[in-house]
Amino acid sequence: MSDYKPIEQMICAAARLLEDGAVVVVGTGAPCAAAMLAQKTTAPNLTLMFEAGGIGPQLPRMPISVGDSRTFYRGLMATSMNDVMETCQRGLADYTFLGGAQIDAYGNLNSTMIGDDYEHPRVRLPGSGGANDLASFCWRVLVITPHDRRRFVEKVDFVTTPGFLSGPAAREEAGLPPGGGPYKVITDLGVLGFAEETCRMQVESLHDGVSWEQVRAATGFELSHTDPLPTTEPPTEDQLRILRDEVDPHGYIIGRG
């Protein structure tokens, strides 16, 4: 088995979740790398959408922003943020990748502020961008994030991006389309999903060499797991070759971890 970095395991695990023919809204960084890898391996008909207006590109190299000209390369459309968001509102986007400084047991994300006083936070964060809209209207939300207690908290300091809010039926009660919400959280320790009955996060697989105790210690809320609890499928030789040589040859993403 080849040696690989935690970030490479995360990207490869995320890429496997994107089936051929799906539509996914991506930003830059690891989510874009996962979508590119999926497009070059198991999902050649995956349609990528970028918030700035690129729809259906065949990315030659890793873009540095959602407005990079590469996000339009051989694309189906070069349009606008309005059209991309409308497409999501019409229910045509299967997945979106999102992130934040905090995530709680119900998959709510915070990218607004840290602290208990909105006017005087301990840390002011960038805010929603389009994250709230995407989480509200794309059917499945994917998150790629490091796993530690500062991020995985009992309750986010601010709900920038809705997950399952306070639990079952809460999204629908808030007026969001039924059937959507958080889907998977891919970390450097494992892959997590959400229990159907409670809408709470649960561990679905552990990466090779990671223990259940490690995950519990790195999580700031009570966590369950599926039974049995498998080991995450490791990256294949082909995935690693394509990721390193074609997706991110300059190491913009995989060179960090």
Residue 154 bears catalytic tag: no
Phi, psi of 23 (to 5 degrees): -115, 125
What does the block give as tokens for 32? 């874009």
CA pair distance 83, 120, nearest whole angstrom: 36
Chain CA centroid to CA 214, Å? 22
Whole-number Å distance between alpha carbons of 74 and 57? 5
The pairing of beta strand 95-98 with beta strand 23-26: parallel
Q: Which of these is catalytic: 51, 119, 213, 237?
A: 51
Nearest CA among 99, 102, 141, 116 for reference residue 220: 102
- How far is 191 from 236, CA to CA, in rounded Å? 17
List strand residue ranges (DSSP E) for the chain, in order. Answer: 23-26, 47-50, 54-55, 77-78, 95-98, 102-103, 109-110, 113-114, 123-124, 140-144, 182-186, 190-194, 201-206, 224-225
Contacts of 254 (CB under 8 A, 6+ apart): 5, 7, 8, 11, 33, 243, 244, 248
Catalytic site residues? Answer: 51
